[in-house]
Amino acid sequence: MSNIEAMDCTEEAVGWRSIPPEIKRNIITYLAFPDKQNMMLANWECSRICETIPNKLSELGITEFPTTAKTTLVMKWKNENGRLVSKMVEYRGREMRHQDCPDHTSQAMNAFVRLWRRSKIKTVLIEIPCFEGLSYLWEHQNYHTDSHVAVKVFNIRTNDYRLVEFALRSAKNSKQDISLMANDHGGMETAIFDLEKIKKANSVILWSLISNIQDHQLTALSAQNIRVSSQFLTSSSIVKILRDWKSGKRKLERLHVSSPLLDLADIVNQIGCTCWKNMTDICQVIWREVDEEGYTFATKGPKFDTPGAVGLIMSEGTPTFIFRIIKMTPSMSRLVSERCGSNCAEVRPQYIEQASN
């Protein structure tokens, strides 16, 4: 009986070896993430095949905890039943970060970039306070030039501009949702906004980060969702963005700009707005969809059924311009089309005058 079992195993092994490489690749492609990782350890041929097949991960994250001398690596993927599962690996050390990079963080980053390089990832989460001592891991593997990485969402918390630059340039695709944070109320280098990945991103969100972004850099962003804070932004950049949106030259969903140089009256005069108190009965119904505070004016978008709400609030003592589109239900859209679609071609002059007051 044992001889038969041995013979069966041999036949199975010979059968796998006789399969053409392209068919082996198709088979491995359908394996779940952990099975594919195990397949890489089978033999050199399987390892080489797996190297050419990107991992499909829902999330890949690395987080350093400087006060506890610990760095974690988190992977999330969908199993064969479509359920989201995760695995976390902890790297612990004896020394907390001071200036140099601790060994446990270096080991975690090394594992991170090995997975990162051959993956298609929905969300990448990186929380590393300082990139000092880690950049060589990216440069050694030429991640900024030889990369198969595809990322949809970047969430990066760091005080080091170089980490953001390396991460964005490593992804071969563009039009990501980019969210940047800092461990404290730090700043972000102006050069970050000159990167093509930032200019072409779907969204650019800077949480609790003060940047020196200029007007020409803000207007160069094609993102539909923008949140920035700067001491140098003026009303002219906001006016240009909104005019381009109204004329259909760009898409826009939300705009959140903090600057001491903003003037709401100047903005509403130039783009044409109506105070919500002066709206018709139909527009009042639509205005109820604005379920957030601070919005006081409305403006017509590229189409009659795509209005936008604007306002000015104080955020941490700084004037902050806010904009969002007002999404209509299908019934609202039909109602506006039937009753006032032809009357929304132009903003009435008296409304502009009332808005400035």
**pLDDT recorded at residue 6:** 44
Split at pLDDT 50, 70, 90, the class of 278 is confident
Average pLDDT, the chain: 79
Per-residue pLDDT reduced to its tens digit, 152-183? 999 998 877 888 888 888 888 889 999 998 76
**Taking the model in full, what pTM does it have?**
0.78
Q: Which of 37-41, 184-188, 276-280 has the weakest average pLDDT?
A: 184-188
Separation in Å, CA 333 to CA 253, 273, 317 = 18, 20, 38
Split at pLDDT 50, 70, 90, the class of 141 is low
**pLDDT recorded at residue 301:** 86
Q: CA-CA distance, 18 to 130, in Å (whole number)?
A: 50
The domain segmentation of the chain, as residue ranges, is 17-53, 54-211
- Is the pLDDT at 346 greater than 70? The verdict is no
**pLDDT recorded at residue 140:** 67
Per-residue pLDDT reduced to its tens digit, 56-102? 888 999 999 888 889 999 999 887 777 888 889 999 987 665 556 78
Longest dimension (CA), the chain: 96
First to last CA, the chain: 95
Q: Which of 57-66, 202-211, 248-257 has the weakest average pLDDT?
A: 202-211
